[in-house]
Amino acid sequence: MAPVIVGSALAWGEGHPAHWPAFLVAVCAALLIQIGTNLYNDAADYERGNDRGDRLGPPRITAAGWVSPRQVKSAAWACFTLAFTLGIYLATRGGWPIVAIGLLSLVCGWAYSGGPRPLSYTPWGEFFVWAFFGLFAVFGSYWLQAHAVNASALLAGAALGFPAAAVLLVNNVRDLAADMKAGRRTLASVLGEDKSRRLYALFMIAPFASLPLLALENASVGLAFLALPTAVRLARRMRSSQGAALNPLLAATVRQQSFFAILLALGSLL
């Protein structure tokens, strides 16, 4: 929900009238794509043998035997189908840019775990998360409200994508040993543990570099600097957290993105 809120708030703060149906439908479509991606990943990782009894992350429904892989995939496709249906309405509001962003989001949501070479098995996972859960999502939400292109929306999208990518990076550092056994060549396996921890710190601090540029149009977005101390603390925690101890850091990273997004949205409205 964070990129939809930020993109919309940027448009409203510039004086564009709020189009509430487009906002609410965009929120629902974004949630459905996120849920569908996670469900498909849950089933696909189990089928590929990547989720074993020694998994360090939170329990997953397919590996736990609560439901079958077929049922989980059916639920994932139901989410993607609903998102596509909602996207038809958004396309009538936003035109071809929304069609392009929506279709790419759906394809990549499936391709993250599906197909002969899933994105989650390559070093490009963090890049796609940064692009789709930051850059494209914020810009698309801004476009739905403003029907205009603004550098601020692109800057804000890039900023919001970094903590989203950091969430995946924490996950991949935690699962580094298991992923290498399963043949997953994630960014963490390419960089190694030490460099991945430094990259996490960069991902958490990078969003604040965009705030001075955003403040040229609206000084109130500086309110988001209130999230900087928390980002620094999380970067320090990442240095020493190991194994299952990274799970609380995973959740804290999500909360940090939400905190930053809320402050940025409030600053934009002010």
CA separation for the pair 170, 165 (Å, rounded): 9
**Half-sphere exposure of residue 59: CA atoms within 13 angstroms, side-chain side:** 6
Using 50, 70 and 90 to split pLDDT, how confident is the model at 255? Answer: very high
Q: Whole-prediction pTM value?
A: 0.92
Contact between 203 and 163 under an 8 Å Cβ cutoff? The reply is yes
51's tokens: 């989720």
- Which residues lie below 8 Å from residue 15, measured CB to CB, with a gap of 6+? none
Q: What is the CATH number of domain 2-269?
A: 1.10.600
Tell me the pLDDT tens digit for each residue of 4-46. 999 999 999 999 999 999 999 999 999 999 999 999 989 988 8
Q: CA 248: distance to chain centroid?
A: 18
Share of the chain above pLDDT 90, in %: 78
Q: Which of 103-117, 163-177, 247-261 has the lowest average pLDDT?
A: 103-117
Lowest mean pLDDT among 6-15, 49-58, 66-75, 196-205: 49-58
Dihedral, 102, 199, 170, 256 alpha carbons, nearest 10: -70
